Structures are given as C-alpha cells and as structure tokens.
Amino acid sequence: MENSTQFQYDRAFARNIGLLNTEEQGRLSRSRIGLAGLGGVGGAHLQTLARMGLGAFNLADPDIFEVVNFNRQLGANMSTVGQSKVEVMAQAVREINPDAAVRTFPQGITPENMNAFLDGVDIVVDGIEFFRIEVRRSLYAECRRKGIPVVNAGPIGYGAAVMVFLPGGISFDDYFGIRDGMTRAEMLLAFGLGLGPGLKGHIAPESVDMEREKGPALASACMLCAAAAGTEVLKLIVGRGRVSRAGRGVYFDPLSGRTLALRRRPALTSLRGRVIRWLAFRRIASLRRLHERELQERAGKAGSLNVMANAASV
C-alpha cells in the first residue's frame, strides 16, 4: 500500500522534481523556517513554503483573524474570525504536510521568547506588520548575532520589494538608515523609503493612517511577495541562483511592468534626507502628526525629569 510517510511526502511534492532534484528536495524537507507574522504576507509566505515541501516551522503571531483581514490574508474567512492566527495557520501547514514539525508562539515575538523562536531555525522570513518597527529591528539584530539570514518580501503598492539580509552583509539598521533617537515616524519613513521606489507611487496618501496603523494592501501584491520570498528561501537552502542580498534588492511593479533596483536611501539627517522627510511629512499628514506627538511627549518627559532633578537638589 502507498501509505509510508516518506512515500507520501515524495508523492505530495513530486511536481517539484525537475526544477529541483531529489537531493535538493531533501534539503528543503530538513530545513526549519522561522516565520514572524502570519497576516497578509506572512500567511502567503507560509502556504508557499509548506507547498514547496519545507519540513519545519517556528510560527509567531499574537493576533486573531478579523473580517477586515478578508481582502488579503489567506487564513481569514468566516470560520476563522476570532481565532488565533498562529493556530489556524499551523493547522493549515499540517493539512498540507501532516509530518511537518511546527512550533507556535501565540504571544508573537518578545524579548523573553526570541531565543526560543530562533532555536534550530535555518532562515527567518519576515512577515511582521509594517508598523511593528521595534520588533523588526530587534529580530534582525538577533538574527545577525546568531548568523541567521532574514528574507524580507513586502507589498508596496501593487508590487513587491524583495531583499535578503545575510549575517556578513549590511545590517538592517544600516541599510535603512535607522538609528536610536529617531522618532517612530522617522523610523517608519526610513523603512518605507528603503523598500520602495520613492515618495511617488500608486498609494493615495489619504489612505495611510500612521497613527491608527492602517494602510492599503492587495492580495495580489501579497501573493507576489510570497512567490519572491519562497524563491529566495530556495536559493539559500539549495545554493542555486543569485540571492537578492540587501544592497541589491529588487522592487517589481506588475502594474507598470517595471523592475527597479533597491538601494540605500540618503540618511534622514543628510541634506537630501531632510528634504525627503519634509516632503513625506507634507504628503502624509498622519506621519507628521505621529512625529510631532512623539517630540511633544519627549519634551514633556524631559521637563518632568528636570523638575525632579531640581527638587532633589534643593
């Protein structure tokens, strides 16, 4: 009978052979992927990787599915509303490959579980929500320390931005020009600029609400990201092709049919960077308000500390 585990795996992923050989497929089956975030891009990344035959996953996401997720998130439907994203998507993997080794982190990625999330991981795939810049910075820094590559493939407009951060290459913070002391609005701006072709694009500025952490996204762009991320994972594992390492990443826009090279943007502290920041704050009002509010909060805290210091010296 055709019921052995190995035979079923071979049969399930037989159509990969010809583009991969059996030894390369075996490498995929023995690899563990850390997937941070299981929303629009993360869920698509996971389904793609599972159907490519990746054999093990560490999955992290603290959220539940909601109706607002229906337009782009593969795990979101009427039967999963209110359910944990990580549990729904872990089950989706097991439905594709019952022998997949899946570890779940329903708290998301935290300082307390970072080491556990990265334990045994060969590659991390970034599916973190755009606005979670603090978590993203921490994850990339820890992966760099541990020698783990990170694949970033995110939807920008109708297209996908793709780059891979290798342990010996440029760091996340250096590529995007992010530094401690920047406001969160500045960090998000620097991150967005590094992923896309510039301030001009398809996204209507009024549809972006940085304060409420909302912005437009299409399922088609998320699927495009998953295809790109899956291929980058394949290249890293089987050692074939040219990895889109940070510094020479790509942005593909299927609406215009254009492919653009992604490069480091001027630091926001440079003359050109200050001009770009001014234009961005003018174009996206919610970004400017987020920046100004944080500066006000910092000034208030500084004032409180000065009052306390003066009182202590009396």
Whole-Å CA distances, 73 to 89, 90, 124:
11, 14, 20
Is 280 domain-assigned?
no
Cβ(58)–Cβ(33) below 8 Å: yes
Give the model's pLDDT for residue 311. 55
Is 24 domain-assigned?
no
Cβ(117)–Cβ(109) below 8 Å: yes
Q: What range defines the domain where residue 104 resides?
A: 31-266
Is 55 domain-assigned?
yes
Query: Rounded to an integer, what distance in angstroms lies between the CA atom of residue 151 and that of residue 153?
Result: 7
For the stretch 97-129, pLDDT in tens is 999 999 999 999 999 999 999 999 999 999 999
Is 154 domain-assigned?
yes
Task: Give the CATH number, domain containing residue 73.
Answer: 3.40.50.720
Number of domains in the chain: 1
Is 106 domain-assigned?
yes
In sequence order, the β-bridge partners of residue 125 are: 35, 151
Cβ(92)–Cβ(62) below 8 Å: no
Is 85 domain-assigned?
yes
pLDDT at 243 over 80: yes
Residues in the chain: 314
Is 282 domain-assigned?
no
157: three-class secondary structure by DSSP? coil
Confidence of residue 312 (pLDDT cuts 50, 70, 90): low
Give the model's pLDDT for residue 2. 44
Confidence of residue 1 (pLDDT cuts 50, 70, 90): very low
Give the model's pLDDT for residue 5. 57
For the stretch 256-279, pLDDT in tens is 999 999 988 889 999 999 999 999
For the stretch 127-137, pLDDT in tens is 999 999 999 99
- pTM for this predicted structure: 0.92
Is 52 domain-assigned?
yes
